[in-house]
A and B are shown apart, each in its own frame.
Chain A
Amino acid sequence: AQKITQTQPGMFVQEKEAVTLDCTYDTSDPSYGLFWYKQPSSGEMIFLIYQGSYDQQNATEGRYSLNFQKARKSANLVISASQLGDSAMYFCAMFRTGTASKLTFGTGTRLQVTL
């Protein structure tokens, strides 16, 4: 079984500052994928970034980067230069390779960007 733990229920960050959202995971599978999704108040889940367990480099997508520390089983999301529009719920998720993207999600972190 897989488990995702997000220990920060809420975070505040000032506009233009960087913020790190924590995610740890638990799995015994050697091959898996990790995701971060953003969920604004409108409800849709928006894909941000993906990291495969065998990827040698940390994933980056624009202002988003994933700090992947495999030995520690952590996959923290770093948002650089925060914008007001980044205020939302952020979910870390994982799947076991070969399980057709059945994602296991964490409980989320609510990020509030302030002026």
Chain B
Amino acid sequence: DTGVSQDPRHKITKRGQNVTFRCDPISEHNRLYWYRQTLGQGPEFLTYFQNEAQLEKSRLLSDRFSAERPKGSFSTLEIQRTEQGDSAMYLCASSLLGQGARGANVLTFGAGSRLTVL
């Protein structure tokens, strides 16, 4: 088990371009989360999946953002028509529902994908 993997680790793009981030969770985890962290702040919740179903989206997730988790395994987060305000670290996390309150709610995070929009 190699933990939660995110790719790419760093992405620099020009305003208006589309970018896609990939997250591979811990294989047996059935919940997957995306968070966004801007400089000097704590992470903010964006969305989460239980298996392949996207169960909740934050108001932070504008219509330029889309997340998928086909087959309930890896997930992708796509940002269309990037803006400079999208520059942030995008963190993916996973957890296993069914391990009691502590187990289900302890998130294992990846190292993040840092996006810089020029």
11 A-B Cβ contacts within 8 A? A4-B42, A33-B105, A43-B89, A45-B107, A47-B107, A100-B56, A101-B31, A101-B107, A102-B48, A105-B44, A107-B41
Q: With the chains together, A18 CA to B60 CA distance in Å?
A: 38
Task: Please tell me if B115 contacts chain A, counting CB pairs below 8 Å.
Answer: no
Residues of B within 8 A of A (CB): 31, 33, 35, 40-45, 48, 50, 55-56, 89, 91, 93, 95, 101-102, 104-112, 114
The B-contacting residues of A in range 27-60, CB under 8 angstroms, are 33, 35, 37, 42-47, 50, 52
Contact of A33 among B43, B55, B95, B101 (CB under 8 A): B101
Task: Please tell me if A91 contacts chain B, counting CB pairs below 8 Å.
Answer: yes
Please indicate the chain B residues that have their CB under 8 angstroms from the CB of A100 in the complex.
31, 48, 50, 55-56
Task: Please tell me if A19 contacts chain B, counting CB pairs below 8 Å.
Answer: no
